[in-house]
């Protein structure tokens, strides 16, 4: 009887069902940890759009102010509500502010942008809505909702220190 068991054991070359179930359980545990971290990493990388565009808007505003001695307020563009999948950049009526300073990003943007006297309130985008650069600071603001949970992430910078881009959001993304 012992000999038959040993012979049978030598012939068996596959895995048992228990061994396969253990491997599947380990893979499931690793996936449960890795997938949310990967999604968080993807969303975090998309926040670089806001920081890059804020820098470009600041540069365009400074160039405009150097030529015209005024800053230009710009209303929320490309719309009033950011979308996780992105919006095409808006031009034309209601978006003259960004057109006048020469700012237009390529492709879709996941944040909406505005320039105003405070971080929360951008200008109204009239061509006459300009401020004297000696009397007021401008706030360049980006607002987005990358994860689609309704909580907005806010980034802003002023014309004073180009190295500072603050994240004032209550949400990660």
User: What are the domain boundaries of the chain?
Assistant: 12-44, 47-167
Dist. CA 120–CA 130, nearest whole Å = 17
Give pLDDT, residue 10. 63
Q: What is the mean pLDDT of each run of 10 residues along the chain (173 residues)?
A: 61 82 96 91 87 92 88 84 82 79 89 78 51 62 85 83 70 63
Locate 29 and state its tokens: 């545990």
> pLDDT value at position 134?
47
Q: In the prediction, which pLDDT does 128 show?
A: 42
pLDDT tens digits, residue range 13-51? 778 899 999 999 999 999 999 998 998 888 888 888 988
The CA distance from 8 to 20, in Å, is 20
Q: Where are the alpha helices (DSSP H) in 2-157?
A: 2-11, 17-46, 48-68, 96-101
Query: Residue 65: which residues within 8 A CB-CB, separation 6 or more?
Result: 71, 133, 159
Enumerate the β-bridge partners of residue 109.
87
Pair 82, 143: CB distance under 8 Å: yes
pLDDT at 126: 44
């Amino acid at each position: 009887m012992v000999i038959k068991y040993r012979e049978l054991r030598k012939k068996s070359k596959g895995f048992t069902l228990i061994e396969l179930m253990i491997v599947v359980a380990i893979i499931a545990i690793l996936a449960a940890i890795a997938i949310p971290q990967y999604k968080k990493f993807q969303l975090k990388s998309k926040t670089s759009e806001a920081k890059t565009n804020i820098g470009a808007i600041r540069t365009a505003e400074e160039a405009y102010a150097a030529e015209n001695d005024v800053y230009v307020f710009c209303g929320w563009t490309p719309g009033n509500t950011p979308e996780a999948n992105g919006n095409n950049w808006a031009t034309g009526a209601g978006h003259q502010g960004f057109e006048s300073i020469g700012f237009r990003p390529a492709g879709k943007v996941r944040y909406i942008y505005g320039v105003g006297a405070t971080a929360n309130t951008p200008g109204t985008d009239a061509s006459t809505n300009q401020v004297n650069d000696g009397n007021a600071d401008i706030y360049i603001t980006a607002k987005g909702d990358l994860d689609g949970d309704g909580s907005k992430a806010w980034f802003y910078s002023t014309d004073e220190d180009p190295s500072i881009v603050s994240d004032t959001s209550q949400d990660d993304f």
